[in-house]
Structure 1
Amino acid sequence: MAFSSSPSHLPRDFPTSGFQVIDPSDKVEEENLPFYNRDDYYPMRMGEVIGRHYQVVAKLGYGTTSTVWLGRDLRDGKYWTLKVHINTTKHNQESAVYRHLADVAANMVGRPGRQNVRELHDSLTLTSQHGDHEVFVMTPLGMSLRTLQQMQPNHAFEKMFVTSAVDQVLFGLYYLHAAELVHTDLHSDNLLVAIVDNSVLADVEEGEIFEPAARKRDDDRFVYVSRYMLGGPGPLTICDFGQARIGNVHRGLAMPLPYRAPEVILRMDWGAPVDLWAVGLLSWSLLKPRALFDLYAPDSPELNDAHHLAAMTALMGPPPPEFLQRSEEASKYWSEDGTWKGPVPVPTDLSFESLCTPLTGQDKEMFLNFLSGLLHWLPEERLTTEQTCHHLWLRGGGEQ
């Protein structure tokens, strides 16, 4: 039965056969994540109606703390993204961030960047055998920037695309920082392309009806394969605020390991400049698929920090004395004059100039100037979001 546009509709019936059945011994999607526990996740069924009027019509993705679904509101036919959290979350930081954004919204009217930040439309709670699951109801978005990058030749974007993408990210950060929020988890997985052609949402539902997604039976539940959505070149949207911090000054570990700013690694106070550090790494990774920094020693956090800081020293030179004086941790890696003494050697073959192969000539020179304004030891010396937006590399200007 096709879904019509009139209000108050009965839910549709979804196929119970005609799909690829995945071998029970194979891991599917979220099952591949470290520390996966099946009982933490809500056992969603395709076609299930949650919150009384949202029918689940497709799976869109998954993560360490949630699965993501496409839902259709049976009252008016409108589509929504349903982010269903695991039941072991003691404190849902993303929920606190959305409440904060709602509280400050009146003071943010007209401020640029709102369209580049994901909004929360509604929330509800589901109960499973093993606990409660908070559900966010949000506007549907397309695929992540990382997924889109994997579809490109050589897994890299052209410069014009990169400058446009970074522009939009900066607008979103401008809004978040004005709201006294630090994202801390800014990378291409958390940047989604907005949908400008909503017909793709109905197409996804029809696809699930007529060509249902592959799935695996796991006792009393199914684990489904996700569908990708891309409905036109809409604006980039910053998503996933589960690691975001409210306020301007923070302390303690944050950011994914390869993206960590030096002040985070060295347990200094940190704030919004860590997001600008991440913008520098993001800009690099969109032009060149190999990340600037790596996960060097997965089994040893201490050794990984040493390799990470050694690579930073090779690329940026030794940190200034005023930076070293801010952390007792720094004495493990440098003497007072900035001479490296860490447990691993400083690489001798690393430089921005040699690694930056996608660009040449003046364009390369301008990009490296742009990068040096963001990848700086002293957080207060990094460009702000507004200063970064006006940099000549993004604006296509002439020589610095």
Structure 2
Amino acid sequence: MALSPALEPWSLAEVPGPVVPNKEHHQARWRRPRLAPQHHRPPRDFPTSGFQVIDPSDKIEEERLPFYKRDDHYPISMGEVIGGHYQVVAKLGYGTTSTVWLGRDLRDGKYWTLKVHINNIKYDQESVVYRHLADIATNMVGRPGRQHLRELHDSFTLTSQHGDHEVFVMTPLGMTLRTLQEMQPKHVFEKVFVTSAVDQVLLGLYYLHAAEVVHTDLHSDSLLAAIIDNSVLADVEEGEILQPAARKQDDDRFIYVSRYMLGGPGPLTICDFGQAHIGSEHRGPAMPLPYRAPEVILRMDWGTPVDLWAVGLLTWSLLEPTALFDLYTPDSPELNDAHHLAAMTALMGPPPPEFLQRSEEASKYWSEDGIWKGPVPVPTDLTFESLATSLMGEDKEMFLNLLNGLLCWLPEERLTAEQAYCHLWLRDGGEK
């Protein structure tokens, strides 16, 4: 069965809510051409008073993150024009390696997300991945799924007294899937929404894997909904004019409180390529701890099947209120791994011998016959069937059949993105 283009946006058509969008250079030779010189609109004046002043001793926003260093960040001022023609009109969010702003292009009035990186990034993997995707785009024409991957429109460099800061210019996106989920009753979605969301993720992975890119960081925080009503962007700017964001002064700079964006959710977009890998086979740490595939935990070679493992966990988490895996023992990585693998053993049964033979680490947890001998017990009451409470009858059976095809020990036995997309549980769930 061939993949079809993406379905219409969400089943939940209009679900406004607060969001801090995703925490998010490519080289000059592959930048999109600059627009021909145009008559610039004058930048707007932004208020210099009338906002809440936060006590300088209080830590806010990015200051609360581990390893935060003030001089790593570019000291943006609200209303500042950067990159020659982008006026900063609101702060949207922050992350460990960047702050994220809404900017308006003074040439044509169009809004863009401006992701301003810290100045001490030694190697920018996200830039490498964006460059790779741009370089092979002509060979991928006609392959569905590209519309579900975030694109880099432009980039430039800002220079502060402490170093250079790369800035990504990207299409503004709305709420994360996690934020939308937190707004739902019991923090789960109806099946028709889940199947539509998973469809779009699989289409994006279908394109990404054909481009030999493994995402490795797929979860509801790295999935953002497109904005279907661009008037919300103008509303965000007006909000900053009429009721400027709270802020604190830190010597020569302000640190601003991020502004929420409201807007109905559009199609899903896969973001956050900073942990992505190019190529079919890799080794070493990958994936957020609770989302790790077994081959990653056991230090085996890994590739695109880790993303399908993540799709299995994502599908479950959108539909069921109880997580399959957790961060069990944060202060002991070895015990945390043991708990994680024990839970997998309870849910999936013992790993097959050919899996165990691929890693010396496996001998810490199982005998050659697959008998558990790890330092923590295998849970006795943990099964997919008992934990899955949102569906009934044949619908539940088909859902668990999909999960079994995604959450299994041997990576080569997992469904591919195309196979998962064609699974009957997805094709029989909602508008097709």
The TM-score range, normalised by the shorter chain, is: over 0.9
Distance 1:320 1:114 in 2: 36
> What CA distance in whole angstroms lies between the structure 1 residues aligned with 2:141 and 2:359?
39
CA–CA distance in structure 2, aligned partners of residues 290 and 135 of structure 1: 38
CA-to-partner distance for each residue in 1:276-325, whole Å, 9 max, x for gaps? 00000001111124321111111111111111111100111100000000
Q: 2:108 and 2:122 mapped to 1: Cα distance?
A: 34
* TM-score, length of structure 2 as denominator length: 0.89
1:359-398 counterparts in 2 under 5 A? 359-396=391-428
Give the whole-Å Cα distance in 1 for the aligned partners of 2:68 and 2:396: 43
Q: Give me the whole-angstrom Cα distance separating, in 2, the residues matched to 1:290 and 1:48.
A: 45
Q: Which residue of 2 aligns with 1:3?
A: none
- The alignment partner of 1:290 has SS state of coil
Structure 2 residue runs of 5 or longer lacking an equivalent are 1-37
State the one-letter code of the partner of 1:329. Answer: E
The one-letter amino acid of 1:80's match is W
Q: What is the aligned residue count?
A: 392
Task: Confirm or deny: 8 A CA contact 1:142 1:228 kept in the other structure.
Answer: no
Cα offset, 1:118, TM superposition: 0.4
Shift of 1:7: 4.2
1:48 is aligned to 80
Residue 328 of structure 2: aligned partner: 296
Q: Which moved more, 1:384-393 or 1:210-219?
A: 210-219
Q: For the residues of structure 2 that align with 1:153 and 1:218, how far apart are their CA atoms? A: 40
Q: Is the 8 A contact 1:194 1:231 kept in 2?
A: no
Q: Which residue of 2 aligns with 1:190?
A: 222
Spell out the pairing of 1:148-167 with structure 2 (5 A cutoff).
Answer: 148-167=180-199
Contact 1:80 1:140 in 2 (8 A): yes
Equivalent-residue separation in structure 1 for 2:177 and 2:199 (angstroms): 14
**8 Å CA contact 2:175, 2:265 repeated in 1:** no
Tell me the percent identity: 85
Q: 1:214 aligns with which of 246, 255, 258?
A: 246
CA distance in 2 between partners of 1:201 and 1:153 (Å): 27
Distance 1:224 1:368 in 2: 46
The whole-number CA distance in structure 1 between the counterparts of 2:88 and 2:297 is 41
Q: 1:354 matched to which residue of 2?
A: 386
Where in structure 2 are the equivalents of 1:183-262 lying within 5 Å? 183-262=215-294
Give 1:197 shift.
1.2
Q: State how far apart, in whole Å, the 1-side matches of 2:387 and 2:216 are.
A: 25
Q: TM-score, normalised by structure 1?
A: 0.95
The superposition leaves residues 114-164 of structure 1 with CA deviations (integer Å, 9 ceiling, x where unpaired) of 110000010011112221111100111111111111111111111111110
Q: Matched residue of 1:234: which SS?
A: strand
Gapped runs of 5+ residues in structure 1?
1-5
Residue in 1 aligned with 2:91?
59
1:324 counterpart residue number: 356
Match of 1:99 among 112, 131, 134: 131
Instruction: Tell me how far apart the structure 1 counterparts of residues 384 and 226 of structure 2 sit (CA, whole Å).
Output: 33
Report the AA paired with residue 217 of structure 2. Answer: D
1:77 aligns with 2:89: no
Task: Say whether the 8 Å CA contact 1:274–1:379 is kept in structure 2.
Answer: yes
Moved more, 13-22 or 267-276: 13-22
Taking the aligned partners of 1:289 and 1:202, their CA distance within structure 2 comes to 36
Q: Aligned Cα RMSD in Å?
A: 1.3
Secondary structure, in 3 states, of the residue corresponding to 2:102?
A: strand
- CA distance in 2 between counterparts of 1:369 and 1:22 reads 53
